[in-house]
Each structure stands twice: as structure tokens, then as C-alpha cells.
A and B are shown apart, each in its own frame.
Chain A
Amino acid sequence: MAPSTDLLQGTLDMLILQTLAPGQEHGWAIAQRIQQMSNDVLQVGQGSLYPALHRLEYRGWIRAEWGASENNRRARFYSLTAAGRKQLDAELKNWERLTGAVNLVLQRA
């Protein structure tokens, strides 16, 4: 019953933050970006992005405001806050450390 993204919840947050690092985006664009950049490997249901977005907003790492999209429709745009940037740095460092360690084990074992 649990959604598949539960296992990747921490990583999904990190991906969203990374996607928002260059500038603000709305939800659909974030989903597109992640799918494209991972060469369609990460097949998470697009709908499961929204709980993650809301969670990040509640934690104060991203900020959301209504704005006009490319075709002048109202869309909700998300951007990183200062705290979010700090969190992104921290998570990136943590990820590198983790994957580095796993790689080491796999190489040596």
C-alpha cells in the first residue's frame, strides 16, 4: 500500500531542491525536469511530487507563490529559500559521502 517513493523520500526532496537551485519553477516543470535529467530512469508518479513539495514548503526550505505561467495561466511557482539552500548543500554532501562509502565497499568486497 505504501507509495514507491517512500523509499526515496529523502532523495526525492534532494532532487526537488536541486531542481529549484537555478531558479523558480512550477510543479509540472519540476516533474519534467527530473524525468528528463534522469533519462526517464526515475519513474515516480508525478502526483507524488506534490506531497513532497508541500512537505518542503512546511519545513521552510522552499517558498511558493502564485504567478503567471508561460501561457498566462495561473500556476504555483516554487523557489529555494536561504534555509533551503543550506539544506541542499548539506544533503548533497551527505549523499556524496554515503555513495562514496557504498562504492568503496563494493569495490573492495
Chain B
Amino acid sequence: MLGEWWSWLRFFVAGKKRAELDEEIQFHLQRQTEANLAAQMSSAEAQRQAAIAFGGQERAREECRAQRPSFALESVGRDLRYGLRGLWRNPGFSLVAVLTLGLAIGANATIFSLIDQALMRALPVRDPAQLVVLSFAGSSTGHVHSEGGSSPGHRHEFSYPMYRDLRQRNTVLSGLIAESLLTLGVTWNNHAESVPAEMVSGNYFSTLGVRPAAGRLFLDSDEAAPGANAVAVLSFDFWKTHFAEAPVVGKTLLVNGMPFTITGVAAPGFHSMVWEHAPDVFVPLSMEQVLTPEWPYLNDHIAYWIDVAGRLKPDVSLARAEASLNPLFFALRASEFTQLRDQSAKSKQEFVTKSHLNLEAGANGFSPLRGDVQMPLTIIMGMVLLVMGMAVVNLASLLLVRAASRTREFSLRYALGATGGQVLRQLLAEGMLLGLAGAALGLAIAPEALHLLIHWMSRNAPGEMPFAATLDWRVLGFTLVVTVLASLLFSLAPALQFRNPRLAESIKQQVGTAAGGSLKFRRTCVVLQVGFSLLLMVAAGLFVRTIDNLRRVDTGFATDHLLAFDLNPALAGYPADGVVPVEQRALDAVNALPGVRAVGATNDTDLAGDDVQGDMVPAGYAAKPDEQFDVELPWVSDGYLQTLGVPLVAGRYFNPGDTATSQKVAIVNESFARHYFGSVQAALRHHVYRPNRPETEATIVGVVRDVKHSSVRDPALPTCYTLFSQAARRTQLTFYLRTWQPPDAATASVRAAIANLDPKLIVGNLQTMTDQIDANLLAERAVAMLAAAFGLLATLLAGIGLYGILAYSTAQRTREIGIRMALGARRGAVVGLILREVMLLAGGAMVVTIPLAMLATRAVRSQLFGVSLADPLVYGAGILMICVVAALAGVIPARRAATIDPARALRTD
């Protein structure tokens, strides 16, 4: 056995010499001749009979050669070298082919990389397959602070006592971790900045298996006592960019004005258990009271603010863990229920009986963003696959055109004894060469394209971009699979043409009318190209119109000349009672700036995807059973509504007369008024208050028009505006300035004004309202841009493909055209002949594709806005583009056809 392998290998490396084989065959023939001579044949006859008995000599030599172990490899090598030479000699064709493939494969790799990072990549932690994400079904009364990603059956936010109990009393998880996102003001070297940060449990890093790059990470003891451990861990990127990797372990960092000790730095590459978070600083959950004293959530059973994940014990399955944890969860919920105010049977059912703990696989972390991003990414992936399809069809038709000039070559090979398999192998080898060259180009382009795309996306959302411009093995594998499949598909096209050529005709290089198989194939190519490009153009048109519509949405207030920034005095260490005064001073300081028309502030940033909701009950309102009272509850400054330009419908705006000590006032919007009071006028002078908090009772003094709040797409909710100066707690504020000049011009003076007030104050998120809206619409804008890019690419590819096919047609039909012209046809008619075939096919293709497009777009309806699925403008534009492209593609071949000299055409060999 071993000897056989060794022998095989030996001969693989060093085969036999041809001369030896010849000698052997000669010896054989001589002996046979001698035997024949001995049998009384003449010498000529003896030799002839010997040769006959032997059989074909060359054949024997070839067969011997074919037995060599390395023969298969040699053949492929030969095919590749030959193919390479052929491609080298046709630089124009090769360039177009490789570029087409390169663009298509590059686009595929880029988009797949995004999908890979968003949906597939596991967290860079130890054994991500063991991670599970917790959520629960059941009502959550009280405070809910959500980052998103929750739905009624899957609430991801837990309370801290619940988390602690689950952690201590479960038997199936080797660790249960918790995190909550917040913004902190960090001061280092007298430089203050607001950074994204996470409050995490003590076992966060150890459970995930993250190692420190310096110092140590958190221990269980860091979470032991509330407010006791003022320690912080930095993220690697933050350490690199802000500290230049200087030694920081043991140094003091001011966090919200309080000193924290840096214990270490996390390993590079790790961000968070939540995919899209990139916190710069980690602090223990037990410091929550100290950092956000106005939200006393730590020991509150009905404050839901932390996301929870766990690591399964090695021999425990997900199902078993879920089954084991649910009785515990149920018991905990039951005991929590006894502390609720509402002890009705219905409330019990919703809180306890219907509660359920869900465990989901968490290898790629928890991600509120993932659900939003999934559909747009899938759509773009579909489009990019269509582009790939177009590239394949393009290449197939290009190769077919080239193959037409190689008929002689292949017929000769067949005549010399090549099998269909060998010719097929040659064509596949050439196809693979093109495919690999295209893949190399595509993979070279992809990181750059990714980089540009990510840069474009993060322009409006600084610091929040979870994508990186890298390609990992999954992307490479996908690219390889796509390349191989595509190469197979487009090389089979000419291969099918050459399966059974009619040898005699081909050797005579008869170029009469086109051969039957080739004609059908060309027609299929045209139809496919037109169909694909129309689909892509329609998609592009629909998405571009969507973004256009979204940008034009009437938000209810004037969005021009508006500059916004966040101010959170707590980050600079202001005590609770100092916040409102400094915010008032900030309002006055900014108002005094030249070029500022008006200033207002709110704690609920507009058009940022954020909500601050709660219950607001009108006094004496008879509630229907089960009615929810959730309304928007922004706390605003007295100039806010006027600054934004929200029209007043009844009553009055807030004015400086409404101070912290005067009667509490509220302004509601039309939806609120109509819902609770029936009409706008009826709302005035009624009282509203937060349930169970009579100190919040306020009088409605005005009604304003509805405005869009959390996003441009969502309709307005009932809203009740109250003054932040009259509120019970301090809060951070987003300031809005209406400027005379373009708002960007005011940024420097705003910063100066705030710095003048107090250099420790941190100005965050300084951007214009237009930028804010752009950031809010980022997904739609990205989809529209990519769709438009792919639509244009598709049109270009269609143009190239159509040109190729038309040129080929014209060349094939040179004789026919010559005959027609010799028989008296005018040049115009001849040109029309060429173009008509293609136009008819294109028209037919469009007719077939339009219903398909309508069906396909039905699937993406949720992403569209304000466009009907059969929008005539979009379809009309797409059809027009394709007609223009087809016409352009036909110009050169038509001219060539028109300038054919009949005499020469008839003489064409």
C-alpha cells in the first residue's frame, strides 16, 4: 500500500523520457517484423503487418503519456497557459471582461461584508456559541429605559434586583452579565469630552472571556456595594486615540466631575456584548446612583434599564437552561407583584401569569439595530446579486462573440481527436482565469469601497458606526463561491456552442446566417440583460423617490437654519440643584449671540429616533377600560415652541412669566386635545397630571399643531409639553438655535459662549437640523445611494452587453446584408434590420419584466415611502433609460452595417 503511494509519487515528480518509449516501441516493431519475415512475408509486407498488429503508434504514445500520474495536472496547466495566451492577445476583450467581473464581484464582496458583520459575525470573545441573550414576556409597569430592540413578547430590559436574583439563584449559567448604555463626561488632562460608556456588572469581562491589554478588568467585588467602587476600564481604541497608549493604570479620571481610578484597558477588538455599542469607558453598575442621581434605579424593582446576557454551562443546552430558569423567573415575578400598587386580577395576569423568560442564542451579541438593518441589507444584497447575474450574462455573450471567431480552431481540434470533454475543459479553464482575475480585482476594490461607504455613513453619526472596513474569511469564502459559480455559468455558454460543431462547414469558415443554437442564446442574453437592468432601474427609482419623499416630509415645523447641541451639566459635575440655573444661563448666553434669532431647549431631541413617553392623565377624564395613556412628555424651555416654529392653534405659548415658582403650565398638541377633550378649544384650562403624582398637576394654556417627533416617517403622538424649569428633576437638554445665517457659521460662537459660561461644560452633538434628519434617515439614504449606483452600473453593463451582441450580429450577417444591398435594399432599411431584432427583444423583455418587478417590489414595500408600487414615473424613467442605452449601443454596429460595401461583403470568406 505504502509502496504503491510512493511509486505513484515518484512518477508524479519524474515521468518517463519520450526517447525511451520510442526505443521500446521500435524494439517491439522490429521483433514483430522479424516474426513476420520468419512467416514467409516479404519485407515490406512484414513491416506493414507489424505496424497493423501494433495499432496506431502515436495513439500508443499518447495513451502512455495519459497514464502518467501527473497527466491531469499537466493538462490543466496546458489549458491555462493556452487560455492565458489567448487572453493576452485580446487585450480589449480581456480588459472589459475583467473589469466587468471585478466591479460585480467587488460590489458583492462589499455588501456581503456588511451583512457578515451585521448578522453573522460572532463577538470577539471566548466561546461565543455558549452565550445567550435574555428577554422576557410580561408587562413592565414603571420606568423603562430602552435602547431599542424590544417588542411586547421580548423585552430586553430588566431591573437590577431581578438581575441579581437571577444571577445568584440559577444553576444553569456559568455567568450572567448586565450592561446599560449611557453618556458620561470624562475629563483628562483638563480636556473634557462626553463619551459613550457602559455600566456593567462585575463579572462582565470575566464571563465574556475578555483579557486586559493593560492592568486588570473588573472583578465581582467591584459591584459589591453601591457607590463604593469608583473604578473604570477604558476601551482599547479610546486608550489609543486619547491617551496614546500611555500608562494609565492607577491614574485618576474625572467622570461626571467625580474621580474614578482606571484599573485597566480592555483587549483590542472588543467593544461590547451589544454589537453596535462602542463604549469608550466601562464603569460598574453599582456606581449608577452616583453617576445618575436623578434616576434612582439601582434597587428599584420596577425600573427596567439593563440588558442581560449569560454564558451557558458547558453541558447545558439552551432549551434546558430556559426550562430551568423559567420557574425561578416566575417565582421572582410573583414576589415582585406583591409590591405593585395595582393588585387587580388583570394586572396579576399580565405581570405574573403571562410572564415568560426567553433565552436566545447570543453568539453575535445582542443588537437592537440588527432588526432595522436586516431588511435594507437584504434588499441591497439582492440587488448586488442581480448585478452579478448581469455580469455573468455579459461575459457569456462576450465569450460567445469571441468564440465565434474560434470555430476553426475548435473544429481542428475535434478533427485531430480531441474529445468534447477536453474542449470543455479548455473553455472552463479560460473562464476560470477570467473569473479569478475578476475576483482578484474585486477583492482589491472591496476594502476601499467599504471604507468609503462606512465613512459616508458615519459622517452624520459620529462614533456610532459598528462596521469596520475589513474582509474576513467568510467574505473571502463567499467571494470564492460566487466566482466559481459565475465562471462555470459563463464559460458553459460558449462550451455549449461547441459541443457538436458541423466540422465541414466550420473548417470552410462559412459565415452565412447565424447558427441556430447561437441565435437562441444571443436572444436569451438580450432578454436577460434588459430584464435585469430594468429590475435594478425600477428598484433604484423607487428608493430614490422614497428618500426624496422622506426629505420633503412636512415635519410640522421649519427645519431650516436650525442648529442644535446637547448640554448635560451633570457630566461636568454640577450638583442636582445647580443644573437648572446653569441651563437657564446657557439659554440666555446663546440667545444673546449675534445672528441668533431664537433659542429653545428640550430634553427630548427631535427627529433622532428617541422618545420620552409616559402617562399624562387629564383630571376627571373617564378612562375606557384598558386604555393606555402613553403620551410624549418633553420638558422644554419657554422659547422652544416659538424657536421651532410650531404653529399655535389655541391659547398661548409659554412665556418668561412661567417660572419655576409660578403656576405649573402645560401645552398640548392637537392629537392630545382631540383625543381627550374632543376639540382643540375644549382642551384649554383643563388640568393634567402624572398618575399618582399630584404635585405634577398642570394647567393647559395652549394647543399647538402636531409635529413629527421621533422620526420623519412616524406620525405624531399625543404630546404634552411642560417646562423643564418646573419639573421635579434635573435633566440634560438639547438646545435649538434659529439663525439668520447658515447655521454652520454659528458653531464656533456657540462653543465660545458656553465655554465662556464655564469651561468645564461639554457641548455635545453640535449639528444642524438638516444633518440630524440626514442621520435619522441614514438607512434609507444608504439604500437609495447604493440602489442608484447599482442601477447605473446595471445600465452600463447592459449597454456593453447589448453592444457586444449587436456587433456580433452585424459581423455574422455581413453576407446577408451584402446580398440585401446588392438586391437593392437601402442602407436605412439595413440598419433598421439590425436594430429591429434587438429592439423587439428588448421590448419583449421589458413587457415580461414589468409584472415581475411589481411582484418583487411588493416584498420591499415596508422600505418605501410615498411611492406606489406601480409608480409610472419610475417605470417610465427605467424604460426610457434602457431604450436610450439600447439605441446608443446600437449606433456603432448600425453604422458599420450601413457602410458595408456589398461587393466586399459578398466576397467575405
Q: Chain A interface (Cβ within 8 Å of chain B)?
A: 1, 3, 26-28, 31-32, 45-48, 50-51, 54-55, 57-61, 69, 73-76, 81-83
Contacts and interface: CB of A to CB of B under 8 A. Distances in A.
Contacts of A47: 25, 54-57, 59-60
Contact of A45 (B6, B25, B54, B64): B54
A59 B7 CA distance: 6
B4 interface: yes
Contact of A46 (B27, B32, B59): B32
Interface of B: 3-4, 6-8, 11, 16, 20-21, 23-25, 27-28, 30-32, 35, 53-57, 59-60, 63-64, 66-69, 417, 419
Contacts of B54: 45-47
A58 B68 contact: yes
A62 to B, nearest CB: 10
Given A54-B67, A83-B3, 6 more contacts: A27-B28, A46-B32, A46-B55, A47-B57, A47-B59, A58-B11
Nearest to B20: A76
A51 B63 contact: yes
Contacts of B11: 57-58
Contacts of A27: 24, 27-28
Name the residue in B4, B16, B57 with the highest tally of chain A Cβ atoms < 10 Å from its Cβ: B4
5 contacts: A46-B54, A47-B55, A51-B64, A54-B64, A54-B68
Nearest to A66: B20
A69 B68 CA distance: 26
Given A1-B417, A54-B64, A58-B11, A69 B27 contact: yes
Contact of B3 (A1, A45, A60, A76): A60
A19 to B, nearest CB: 15
User: Is chain A's binding surface mostly helix, strand, loop or mixed?
Assistant: helix
B67 A48 contact: no
**CB-CB nearest 6 A-B residue pairs:** A60-B7, A45-B55, A47-B60, A47-B55, A51-B63, A28-B31
Contacts of A59: 4, 7-8
A51 B57 contact: no
A51 B61 CA distance: 8
A28 B28 contact: yes
Contacts of B3: 60, 81-83
A82 B7 CA distance: 13
A60 B66 contact: no
A5 to B, nearest CB: 10
A60 B16 contact: no
A3 B28 CA distance: 20
A60 B64 contact: no
B8 A60 contact: yes
Contacts of B53: 45-46
B64 A50 contact: yes
A47 B28 CA distance: 9
A54 B16 contact: yes
B60 A76 contact: no
Contacts of B66: 51
A31 B60 CA distance: 14
Contacts of B59: 3, 47
B258 to A, nearest CB: 81
Contacts of B27: 26-28, 69, 73-76
Given A46-B54, A46-B55, A75-B27, A58 B69 contact: yes
Nearest to A43: B53
A57 to B, nearest CB: 8
Nearest to A52: B67
A76 B20 CA distance: 9
A83 B2 CA distance: 10
A35 to B, nearest CB: 9
Contacts of A32: 35
Nearest to B5: A60
Contacts of B57: 47
B55 A60 contact: no
Contacts of A28: 27-28, 31-32
Nearest to B61: A50
Nearest to B21: A50
A50 B63 contact: yes
Contacts of A76: 20, 23-24, 27
A48 B8 contact: no
A26 B55 CA distance: 18
Nearest to A48: B55
A51 B55 contact: no
A51 B68 contact: no
A58 B28 contact: no
A27 B16 CA distance: 16
A69 B30 CA distance: 12
A55 B67 contact: yes
A99 B20 CA distance: 38
Given A1-B419, A45-B54, A46-B32, A51 B20 contact: no
Contacts of A83: 3-4
Contacts of B56: 45, 47
A45 B32 CA distance: 13
Contacts of B60: 47-48, 50-51
A82 B1 CA distance: 11
A50 B6 contact: no
A22 to B, nearest CB: 19
B12 to A, nearest CB: 9
A49 B713 CA distance: 81
A85 to B, nearest CB: 12
Nearest to A26: B27
A17 to B, nearest CB: 14
A48 B69 CA distance: 18
B31 to A, nearest CB: 4
Contact of A50 (B8, B24, B419): B24
Contacts of A61: 4
A53 B392 CA distance: 46
A59 B35 CA distance: 32
Contacts of A69: 27
B8 A51 contact: no
Name the residue in A28, A58, A74 with the highest tally of chain B Cβ atoms < 10 Å from its Cβ: A58
Contacts of A57: 7, 11
B67 A51 contact: yes
Name the residue in B7, B16, B56 with the highest tally of chain A Cβ atoms < 10 Å from its Cβ: B7
A2 to B, nearest CB: 9
B806 to A, nearest CB: 39
A3 B59 CA distance: 10
Nearest to A58: B11
B589 to A, nearest CB: 92
A50 B61 CA distance: 8
A74 B16 CA distance: 17
Nearest to B58: A47
B432 to A, nearest CB: 26
Given A58-B68, A60-B7, A48 B28 contact: no
A30 B177 CA distance: 80
A76 B59 CA distance: 20
Nearest to A31: B28
Given A58-B7, A58-B8, A50 B20 contact: no
A50 B21 CA distance: 9
Given A58-B11, A59-B8, A50 B25 contact: yes
Nearest to B4: A60
A51 B56 CA distance: 12
A26 B419 CA distance: 32
Contacts of B20: 76
A74 B8 contact: no
Nearest to B56: A47
Nearest to A1: B419
Contacts of A74: 23, 27
Given A54-B16, A60-B6, A81-B3, A48 B63 contact: yes
Nearest to A45: B55
A77 to B, nearest CB: 11
A83 to B, nearest CB: 5
Nearest to B8: A58
A101 B25 CA distance: 39
